[in-house]
Each structure stands twice: as C-alpha cells, then as structure tokens.
Amino acid sequence: MTSPTATSPAALRIAILQVASPDEESIGDRRRRVSDLVRSTADADLIVLPELWAVGYFGFSRYAAAAEEADGETVRMLRGLARETGAHVHVGSFVERTPSGRLRNTAMLIAPNGDVVHRYSKIHVFGYRSAEQELLEPGSSLSTAITPFGAVSATTCYDLRFPGLWNTLGDIGAEIVIVPAAWPRARLGHWRLFTSVRAVEEQVFVVACNAAGVQDGVELGGASRVIDPWGECLAEAGAGEEVLRCEIDPGLVRSVRAEFPVLGDRIDSYQVEQPVATRGVRHNFERPEEARR
C-alpha cells in the first residue's frame, strides 16, 4: 500500500524547529534565538521544538539551576508567541520543578490563544550513559488534546522504544503524536526505525523533532521526521540546525483506519503457558568422534 500524496484543503502546515543547544550559548540567548525562529515560521499551523532545548538535554549539571515552574519563563515566552503567530506551539520539553520540588521532563502544547491544551511528563527516563534517571522523576499519565486538526498526544525521545505506551496512545484515540527528542547520532538508525514503526503500529502521524549539534561532547542526530499512518516518510531534516516544513492531511488517519482496521483486532492480554520441560528427553544427535573418546 502507498500513502496518498494529495493534501486536502484543510492541510495542516507543520514547522519543525531542529534547534542546536551549544554549550557556549546562554539559555537567555537561546530563548531569544528560538523566539526569532518561531516568528519566522508564523505561517505554520503547528510549530514544534525539540527535547530540553533551553538547557540542552546532556547538560545534566545545569538541570537544577535551569528548572522552571509549569508557567516559567520558557512557557510564558512560547504562550506569547502562540498568541502572536496564531499557531499551535509545542514547546518541546523543559525541566519542570513540580510543587513538591521534584524535577520532571515536561512537554506542552499551546493553543493559538495562549492556553496550554496538553501536557505530558516523560514516563521512561533514560539511564544508559545518562544522568536523567538519577535527576528526574518520571511522569505517569497519557492523554490527548482535541484540536482543529485532530486528537493530538505526545511522547518524548526514549519513549519511542516502548510499544506498550504507544499501544495506549492508539487505544485513547491519538491521531497525531508529537515526539520531541535529543537522540544521539550514534543510534540514528534506531531513531528512523522507531519513528516509522510506531506510526504504522498505531496508524498515526508521528511528528518527531530531534535536536542538532553537539551538547557536552555528545553529537545529536538531527533527522527530524514526519511519518504518515502508512509509514511513509513525508519529510526528513538533515544533521544540522534547520527548519523542516511539511504539510499533512489529518483526515488520512481516519481513512487508513477505516480501510485497514488493524487496531480493532488487537488483543489486550495473552495467555502464557509454562515452557515444556525437556529434562530426560533423549535426542538422536550424532557426536563427533573426538567427543566419544
């Protein structure tokens, strides 16, 4: 099967801001630079940023100082830009300091009127050669936001490796899943694989915004992508900082699900049988001559 190429009159215009977070740039300067980038994409309906772009994902030593409340400076800036541009703005994610004082990796979607219409705290915090698991408290819930272009949800980076989470997104009706990330170049093949397979499994659009450049000695992969429900890559960025633009037809999700209703065939649980014991079973394997001696 192939993905239709024509877009409807209600096509959703997406701008993915594949931002770099160089160590020598201050958070204030980065916010100002990102503000200019958002304004430059004001003709888009949906603007998406990467994971922890303000502090830089790999800047673990800066997390505590850079942490913000849910309506801190980064979110306030982007709420104002959403009102200014008239676009939905996905903030990527930021280090949130919760009322209890714990830190979380939190993503938000802001509507054109400046309201926060969706929030998600990263459930699967990363532990492999990363301090995220030590520093951040995982989130615990999933939801969707009903927007003019469909039911929108989000996951973050490492969550791509966990199909059970994505199964739940399909079950609750997500049609577009936004994935801010800081995925290293060393595992770029996995990034392309997972963004594609999750779109196919759940018959959703995956809008994946990765970081670019080098952070604390780690090279990020770039390659931000938009994948349709058939698994077709509609757009992919290069390795460096850039703005990736793409138009999608949000109605494609429902037509794909109607044509190929695989989600309705999914079974929620499976009976597991005990393995058959093989102790005492004789096998007619010929041993080599040396083993007989």
Pairing of strands 145-147, 150-154: antiparallel
Question: Which two tokens mark 108?
Answer: 């938000």
For the annotated catalytic residues, the residue numbers are 51, 122, 157
Neighbouring C-alpha atoms within 13 Å toward the C-beta of 32 = 4
Contact status, residue 141 vs residue 131, Cβ threshold 8 Å: no
Cα–Cα distances in Å, from 237 out to 130, 210, 279? 25, 9, 55
CA angle 217, 157, 140 (to 5 degrees): 125
Task: Decide: helix, strand or coil at residue 167.
Answer: helix
Residues in the chain: 293
Q: Which is nearest to 78 in space by CA: 127, 24, 26, 41? A: 41
Closest CA relative to residue 87, chosen from 129, 49, 138, 32: 49
Burial of 162 (0-12, 13-18, 19+ CB in 10 A): middle
User: In angstroms, how far is CA 35 from the centroid of its own chain?
Assistant: 21
User: d(Cα 134, Cα 124) in Å, to the nearest integer?
Assistant: 12
